[in-house]
Structure 1
């Protein structure tokens, strides 16, 4: 996973080689919470500030998500695959500064 700055100034989040469980209503969130590994991290993103990049495009493979210019990336520490319906994480990764 990485954020790419395009030549035109736009930013794109890339999810590479994604492999997660299939589930209902899973969204890609930029989260102010740190990634927490294992079952302890299943609920941490739900209580943190987040920006919703939209529904996940699939549970496997490479994906791109546009990040609007107004999003202040300095607020966010991780990317979380958040199931809105059940308030649980399907996976997370720490963002590098």
Structure 2
């Protein structure tokens, strides 16, 4: 009986730790697109979602013939497995993953593969893949 109680306690502690562990860095970043980059879209503000807080702006730039998504003056609630998407919807179903969120604060750059149509892929989304929760989104215009 004591072995079962001990085993249950270990499992509960392991589950609690894995659900609260932050996988995203909180070190501020200051990545810059540089003066040679050309803005493709306007800077649009993030909207928070699902009781999380996301602030800052998103903008797309053309740099060296490639598209780059810039998170500017960005700050987000931390969480496990945060990802950056461009999506056709605010709740991502049809999306392109740009990568793991590098940090919950600061200026960040993400390469955009291909040449997506921003009339179709109209949202930048911060999404927790592990729990399928949107932390915030911004319209790309």
- TM-score normalized with structure 2 length: 0.56
Q: How many residues align?
A: 84
Contact 2:126/2:137 (8 A) holds in 1: yes
Q: Where does 1:51-90 land on structure 2 (aligned, <5 Å)?
A: 51-90=96-135
Distance 1:70 1:15 in 2: 19
Q: Paired residue for 1:39?
A: none
CA RMSD of aligned residues (A): 1.4
Q: Where does 1:16-27 land on structure 2 (aligned, <5 Å)?
A: 16-27=72-83
Unpaired runs of 5+ residues, structure 1, are 35-44
Work out whether 1:10 is the aligned partner of 2:55: no
* Structure with more contact order per residue of length (Cα contacts < 8 Å, sep ≥ 6): 1
Report deviation, 1:75. 2.5
Contact 2:118/2:140 (8 A) holds in 1: no
Distance 1:92 1:25 in 2: 16
Deviations 1:34-87 (A, max 9, x none): 4xxxxxxxxxx14x2011001000001100000112544443010000100111
Unpaired runs of 5+ residues, structure 2, are 1-57
Work out whether 1:31 is the aligned partner of 2:76: no
